[in-house]
Structure formats: C-alpha cells, structure tokens
C-alpha cells in the first residue's frame, strides 16, 4: 500500500449545497493527518489546465453556510479523451499528488473510475454530490435535502396565490432521470398529482384526478412535474390539460436553477462533513475506486463501479402510494 503524500480535492458537474462543508472536512482532516492538500479549480478542467493551489485550514474558514462550491465546477469534455487524461495525470505527478477526492454525480464518477483504472497509482475516492439523489450506495446525496427544502418553500408560496385565484399550477422541478425531489416535495406540499420519470401517468388519468378534486370542492390544485417525466415538457402537459379542464385558470412555473443554490441545510452541512472526513480516512487506509455514502445513518463504502452500474435508484413505493391517497 502506497503512502499518501499529497491529496487533491475537486468538485465536478452540477453544483450542490453541501459541497463546501465537504471540501472543508477534506482539507482539515487531511492536514490533521499530516497530508498536504491541494484545491483543484473547476473540476477535471483544472486537472488539465493545472489550475491548482495549496490549501490550509484558513482556506476553508467560514464556508459551511455557503452554497455552490469555492473550488468552482465545470463539465470537461477533454477529460473524456486519452490525451486529456494523460495531461491531467502528468500535472498530478508534477505536483506530487497521489490521491484525489472527487465530489460530484454520476458523470464525475464515470470520469474518476476511468482515470483511476488507467492510472492506478492515483488513489481515488468519490463523494456523492448531486441534488438528484440518484446514486446507488447512499440513501442521501449532498444537496438533495437543501434542494427539496427550497422547492417546498417555493410551492408553499405558490399554493397561497393558487388558492386566492382558484388556479391550477403546474410546477416543474429538476430531475431528468430521478423523481426524488418531485416526490418528496409533492408529499410535503400536498400536491394533487406528481409526475415522475419512474412512474408512467397517462394524461387522461391526470385529468380525471383533477376533475375529481374540483368535484370535492378544491379551491386550487398543484401538479408537480419532474423535468424527465415521460409526458414531455411541463408546457405541453399543461396545454393538454387545459383542453379538457375549463374550471381552473392554469399557470406554469419552472423553478429551474434556484433549486441548486442557497445555504445548505443543517442536514447537508453535517452530511458534507461526515462524507469528507470519511473520504480522507478511506484514502489513508489505502482504499481506492470507492464511494463514501450514508446508509442507515452509518458511513458505508461502495465501489464506484457498483454505484454507477446499479444506477437505477428506486423511489420509495410507500411514498408514491401515500401521495395518491393523501391527495384526495
């Protein structure tokens, strides 16, 4: 087992609240254990461009409450090529870095796994940072709790105006491949319907549901649409419903990237600290090509390959059934 001398940390792909607490934990845990720690800006792009700097405990002061990532992030197409990876590897060797903590989602992990297999002398540990909560091996990913709270707060405000005007609101939330945010927000806010990528909902069934709500004297209705729903975009869905339902004034709201921003919740701050700490400890034990995750409130290790190949994240069936029952 090689001895780690210098540790690099980067964030890649979409940003997520909780990344900064994780960076802080990586830096301070590494330094506490006698490691030099290097921050890599803009993810894999920073590896290729050699955009790195030495970090110390003060480099991560007062960042627990900050959204986004102080290391910046980017999606880097050149890193997918052999030439790009070779450049990144040589930059790491020149810097004396022989271990990496990569914080991100499935795209980040795909690049990390390929790089680590190509250059096994660089140990790599992944931290699941994505608001979509769609990585196998961790019950919760960094940013999911904060993003869900942001959506709930927005929908609560929309409900007020919907009720005041007898309106039907279609609200699109992030989740191209995962309905995790939509499902939890829908349960929290009492949505009349939740359209998910994981569950087919026919437009006719949606219309019948909304008509039933009107017959039950509902003064407003909220339909939450995950952006990856199989019925298409939220505007197309609203248009189809409008053709059959005339008793509601129909409005559409796309929450968009506000779901990524904001100060991380207490849960995401603690989770970021735990995962960052665990990632460094795993590297010190000589582990590599693994992801640290939270399972049953304990930190568990999962191979990055398994986290990617078991990518289909199952939504809780009881929540989906309950959402239908409680919306009558």
Domain segments of the chain as ranges: 6-143+264-309, 146-260
CATH topology of domain 146-260: Rossmann fold (3.40.50)
pLDDT at 199 over 90: no
Residue 108 pLDDT: 96
Give, to the nearest 10 degrees, the angle between helix 317-326 and helix 180-189: 40
pLDDT at 55 over 80: yes
0.85 exceeded by pTM: yes
User: How many helices (H) and strands (E) would you count in the chain?
Assistant: 11, 11
- Name residue 191's beta-bridge partners: none
- Identify whether 132 is a catalytic site residue: yes
Distance CA 276, CA 290 (A): 13
The phi, psi pair for 283, rounded to 5°, reads -65, -40
C-alpha distances (whole Å) from 154 to each of 69, 116, 238, 258, 262 are: 23, 41, 19, 10, 13
The pLDDT mean for the chain works out to 92
What's the whole-number mean pLDDT along residues 242-268? Answer: 91
Residue 1 pLDDT: 56
Rg (CA), the chain: 22
pLDDT at 216 over 60: no
pLDDT at 161 over 70: yes
pLDDT at 247 over 90: no
User: Which residues have a Cβ under 8 Å from the Cβ of 266 and sit 6 or more positions away?
Assistant: none
- CATH-assigned architecture of domain 6-143+264-309: 3-Layer(aba) Sandwich (3.40)
- Name residue 135's beta-bridge partners: none
DSSP per residue, 74-108: ---GGGGSHHHHHHHHHHHHHHT--EEEEEE-HHH
Residue 186 pLDDT: 94
DSSP per residue, 233-251: -HHHHHHHHHHH--SSEEE
pLDDT digits (tens, 9 = 90+) for 128-139: 999 999 999 999
Distance CA 246, CA 136 (A): 43
pLDDT at 245 over 90: no
Distance CA 303, CA 97 (A): 22
Residue 327 pLDDT: 73
pLDDT at 169 over 90: yes
pLDDT digits (tens, 9 = 90+) for 74-117: 989 999 999 999 999 999 999 999 999 999 999 999 999 999 99
Q: Which of 132, 145, 229, 268 is catalytic?
A: 132
pLDDT digits (tens, 9 = 90+) for 59-75: 999 999 999 999 999 98
Residue 215 pLDDT: 58
Give, to the nearest 10 degrees, the angle between helix 144-165 and helix 180-189: 50
pLDDT at 283 over 90: yes
The tokens describing 26, both together, are 């990586």
């Amino acid at each position: 087992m090689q001895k780690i001398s210098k540790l690099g940390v980067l964030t890649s792909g979409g940003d997520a609240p909780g990344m900064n607490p994780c960076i802080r934990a990586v830096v301070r845990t590494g330094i506490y254990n006698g490691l030099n720690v290097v921050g890599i800006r803009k993810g894999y792009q920073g590896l290729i461009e050699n955009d790195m700097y030495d970090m110390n405990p003060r480099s991560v002061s007062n960042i627990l409450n900050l959204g986004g990532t102080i290391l910046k992030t980017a999606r880097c197409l050149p890193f997918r090529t052999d030439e790009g990876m070779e450049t990144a590897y040589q930059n790491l060797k020149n810097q004396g870095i022989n271990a990496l903590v990569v914080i991100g989602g499935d795209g980040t992990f795909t690049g990390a796994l390929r790089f680590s297999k190509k250059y096994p002398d660089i140990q790599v540990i992944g931290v699941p940072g994505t608001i979509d909560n769609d990585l196998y091996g961790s019950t919760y990913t960094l940013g999911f709790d904060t993003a869900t709270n942001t959506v709930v707060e927005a929908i609560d405000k929309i409900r007020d105006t919907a009720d005041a005007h007898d309106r039907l609101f279609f609200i699109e939330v992030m989740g191209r491949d995962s309905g995790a945010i939509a499902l939890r927000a829908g349960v929290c806010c009492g949505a009349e319907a939740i359209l998910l990528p994981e569950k087919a909902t026919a437009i006719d069934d949606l219309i019948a549901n909304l008509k039933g709500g009107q017959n039950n004297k509902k003064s407003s209705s909220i339909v939450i649409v995950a952006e990856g729903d199989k019925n298409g975009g939220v505007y197309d869905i609203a248009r189809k419903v409008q053709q059959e339902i005339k008793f509601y004034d129909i409005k559409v709201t796309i929450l968009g990237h506000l779901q990524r921003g904001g100060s991380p919740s207490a849960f995401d701050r603690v989770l970021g600290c735990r995962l960052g700490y665990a990632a460094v400890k795993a590297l010190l034990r000589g582990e590599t090509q693994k992801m640290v995750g939270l399972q049953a409130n304990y930190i568990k290790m999962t191979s990055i390959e398994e986290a990617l190949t078991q990518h289909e994240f199952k939504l809780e069936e009881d929540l989906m059934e309950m959402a239908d029952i409680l919306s009558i």
